[in-house]
Amino acid sequence: MDVDAVELRVLGCLIEKQRTTPDQYPLSLNGLRLASNQATNRDPVVDYDETTIRAALDRLSHRGWTRLASGPGSRVAKFRHLLEEALQLTPSQLALLAVLMLRGPQTLGELRTRSARLYPFPSTDDVEATLTALTERELVVRLPKRPGEREERWSQLLGTDAAPAARPAFANQGEQEWETWPEALVVERGLVSWKTLVNGQGLTLGVARLLPGESLHPHRHDQAEVYFVLEGEGRVTVDGDARSVGPGAAVFIPGDAVHSFVNTGTGDARFAYVLAANSFADVEYRFEA
């Protein structure tokens, strides 16, 4: 297939937002522009204008993969994808294709983590089984290992990805949606919400929020992390060392250290976090029993 990089990005965004923000789907042209150009969960980061995106929508429409979803009396044109029906895809297959379109070639582990909000794969074996089915239809391919790589990566075959390139990224937290754990994991992990703002070249920056009395439960991950408290009062514990924190407090958390954050105040607690990771999805959270 000969889908270009802009069409891949637009199609991937439509699938992603259908699953993650269904109340905002179908998407307007401006919504698609923001989704396509967002600085997180995208590789590469791009800066497409509405004219470019509309032209891609027209090409996808000719393929029968997108269509206008708003009626003749609507003030704003909105668009939806038809890929599931056009290619007879299962929800799990659609989720993996979307993540591959948005972020390029990835390993089994990366695909399982990054597709969690689109489809909850129980294991990497389930991811591999789905990819194998897509391979049989020549929609994805397993790539050979490159020198220094420990795992094989998988790539979509719908079209050509744009070449990744490091570039400056700017983000406004007011334009990002709050994310949370799936409801089934809240008891284990805590009722916390977050916005990842920018990421790349080994760093990920975001903002997290805890309501009064709520906490991010004790957990660890391989990557080092820094907290910087923006608002509210709380208690941060790192490997058993508990400290009260407030606005302006900074905490360095070594990799694999057990840490938690409890909101001890009467208002929201907000803190910036910086992870030594290329993206939030690359961080494997391990919560204490």
107-154: pLDDT as tens digits: 999 999 999 999 999 999 999 999 999 999 999 999 987 656 678 899
Residue 84: inside a domain, yes or no? Answer: yes
Shared-domain flag, residues 121 and 245? no
Least confident of 40-44, 80-84, 98-102, 135-139: 40-44
The verdict on 147 and 199 lying in the same domain is no
Q: Classify residue 278: in a domain, yes or no.
A: yes
Answer whether residue 161 is part of any domain.
no
Query: Is residue 44, in this structure, part of any structural domain at all?
Result: yes
Choose between 229 and 203: higher pLDDT.
229
**Per-residue model confidence (pLDDT) at position 12:** 97
Q: Check residue 59 and give its pLDDT.
A: 95
User: Residue 216 and residue 220: Cα distance in Å, rounded?
Assistant: 11
User: Measured between alpha carbons, how far is residue 278 from residues 124, 146, 170, 268 in Å?
Assistant: 21, 19, 16, 28
Is the same domain home to 193 and 149?
no
Q: Is the pLDDT of residue 244 over 80?
A: yes
Omega within 30 of 0 (cis) for the link into 72: no
232 versus 288: the higher-pLDDT residue is 232
Task: Residue 126: count other Cβ atoms within 10 Å of its Cβ.
Answer: 15
Both 100 and 221 in one domain: the answer is: no
Q: What percent of the chain has pLDDT over 90?
A: 76
pLDDT at position 174 is 85
Using 50, 70 and 90 to split pLDDT, how confident is the model at 29? very high
Q: What is the CATH number of the domain that holds 211?
A: 2.60.120.10
- Looking at the fold, whether 116 and 147 belong to one and the same domain comes out as yes
Q: The tokens of 222 are what?
A: 């391989």
- As a whole number, mean pLDDT of residues 191-208 equals 89
Give CA–CA dist 257/35, Å, rounded: 34
Residue 169 lies in a domain: no
In a domain, 283, yes or no: yes
Pair (93, 145) in one structural domain: yes
Q: What is the pTM of this model?
A: 0.61
CATH of the domain at 147: 1.10.10.10
Q: Could you tell me if 198 and 132 lie in one domain?
A: no
Per the domain annotation, does 171 fall within a domain? Answer: no
More confident residue, 262 or 181: 262
Handedness of CA 49, 51, 52, 57 (dihedral sign): positive
3-state secondary structure of 161: coil
How many domains is the chain partitioned into structurally?
A: 2
Query: Which is more confident, 167 or 267?
Result: 267
Q: CA angle, corner 130, sides to 126 and 135, nearest 5?
A: 140
DSSP single-letter state for residue 159: B
- Residue ending a domain, among 92, 125, 156, is 156
Same domain, 136 and 194: no
Q: Which domain holds residue 221?
A: 178-287
Instruction: Please state the separation of Cα 89 from the chain's center in Å.
Output: 21
Indicate if 109 and 218 belong to the same structural domain. Answer: no
> Any idea which of 72-76, 126-130, 131-135, 239-243 has the lowest mean pLDDT?
72-76
Last residue of a domain, one of 111, 126, 156: 156
